[in-house]
Amino acid sequence: MTVTVDFRNMTRALYRVVSAPPGERDWDAIRHHYHPQARLVRTGVNPDGSPFVSVFTLDAYIENVRQVLDGVRFSEVEIAQESVVFGNVARLT
């Protein structure tokens, strides 16, 4: 079975939800883009300079972003995209 995924539209849909004004983020608008067992990964650097990685289910990611962005006007714009697919695993950067 071949599954075609439009990563560009998937990313744009996520940015549209995240970049909405506070109280107007429609998380249900992106659920159909994700497999029920999908994982979203966030990486970054802690204040002490050490790296971190957080792995989320879609629901856990949504809850985390809600806590971070609650009451905040935030906007994210894609400047580049790379999609790497190996078998049935994809990485978007």
DSSP 38-61: --EEEEEE-TTS-EEEEEE-HHHH
- pLDDT, position 31: 92
**What is the chain's pLDDT, residue by residue, as a tens digit (93 residues)?**
555 667 778 888 888 888 888 888 899 999 988 889 989 988 999 999 999 999 999 999 999 988 888 888 888 877 777 777 877 777 776
Q: What's the pLDDT at 45? A: 96
C-beta separation of 82 from 92 below 8 A? yes
Nearest to 76 by CA among 7, 20, 8, 9: 20
Give me the pLDDT at residue 63, please: 93
Q: What is the pLDDT of residue 83?
A: 76
Q: Which residues of 39-58 are buried (b: 16+ CB within 10 A; e: fewer)?
A: ebeeeeeeeeeeeeeeebeb
- Supply the mean pLDDT for the chain: 85
> Which residue in the block uniquely carries the two structure tokens 């994982």?
39
| Contact indicator for 81, 11 with CB cutoff of 8 Å | yes
